[in-house]
Amino acid sequence: MAAPSRLVDFYFDPISPYAWLASRSLERLEGTGLRIRFVPVLFAGLLKAHGNLGPAEVPAKRTYLFRDVMREAARHGLPFSGPPGHPFNPLTALRMCTALDDDEQRRKLALALFAACWEAGEDISDVAALPRLADAAGFDGEALLTRAATPAVKQALAAATDAAIAEGVFGVPTLRLDGELFWGGDRIETLLWRLNGGAIDEDHLAAFLARPPLAQRPR
């Protein structure tokens, strides 16, 4: 019997262009014995729970962010088109992903919606467009849209978001391996380092985090 593969959770919301970029770099984790599970979470829910601001909610950061996304896309040979407006409401898209129980199917739809939004410039907040986009990816779009509107699926997305918050997830994309978080596509490299035996002194980290602040910024 083959050893069970280790699981990596990939927390995503298609509202994040960095989640899109990371979704296109996950092949680097293949062949390592890892199984990647796409976990749809509502980014706005993470921000609210942590009292955090999204990067696109700070004007100078928003301006920088999309330049950065376009540069990183160009560097990695990915076509950037971008949705017709941002931010947009990703709820229905997230729920359609949530409605798929099979990991591979969910991943396939998520990748299709990421590409539709960020590469092809589709509006994935548009409930008229979503079934067509799901159809094009090999799904029954109308059936999926119907399931996305059920209380069970709505509740499942909310529960997944709450569970992520409880795990300390504050942003997307986040990868999670054995309870350890890796935030941002840039940290795929660090996850691989960890897999190869890289480690930190956990006692030192805990002691450092327990040190009281020497000053606080007045707010």
Shortest Å distance, C-beta 170 to its own copies: 5
Place of tokens 């509502």: 42
Nearer to its own copies, 88 or 103 (CB): 88
Shortest Å distance, C-beta 58 to its own copies: 5
Shortest Å distance, C-beta 174 to its own copies: 9
Nearer to its own copies, 6 or 71 (CB): 71
Shortest Å distance, C-beta 138 to its own copies: 26
Nearer to its own copies, 53 or 159 (CB): 53
Residue 107 · residue 38 · CB < 8 Å: yes
Nearer to its own copies, 31 or 51 (CB): 51
Give the residues lining the site for its own copies (CB under 8 A).
Answer: 44, 47-48, 50-54, 57-64, 66-68, 70-72, 74-75, 80, 82-89, 123, 125, 168-171, 180-181, 183, 186-187, 189-190, 193-194, 198-201, 204-205, 208-209, 211-217, 219
Q: Distance between CA 167 and CA 162 in Å, rounded?
A: 9
Nearer to its own copies, 88 or 108 (CB): 88
Short-list 96, 100, 90, CA closest to 56? 90
Exposure b/e, 115-132, CB count within 10 A at least 16 = b: bbbbbeebbbbbbeebbe
The CA distances from residue 85 to 6, 171, 214, in Å, are 38, 21, 43
In the chain, what are the helix, strand and coil shares in percent, each to the nearest 5? 55, 10, 35
Nearer to its own copies, 1 or 204 (CB): 204
Place of tokens 């009281």: 212
Q: Distance between CA 114 and CA 123 in Å, rounded?
A: 11
Shortest Å distance, C-beta 199 to its own copies: 7
Shortest Å distance, C-beta 101 to its own copies: 28
Residue type, 28: R
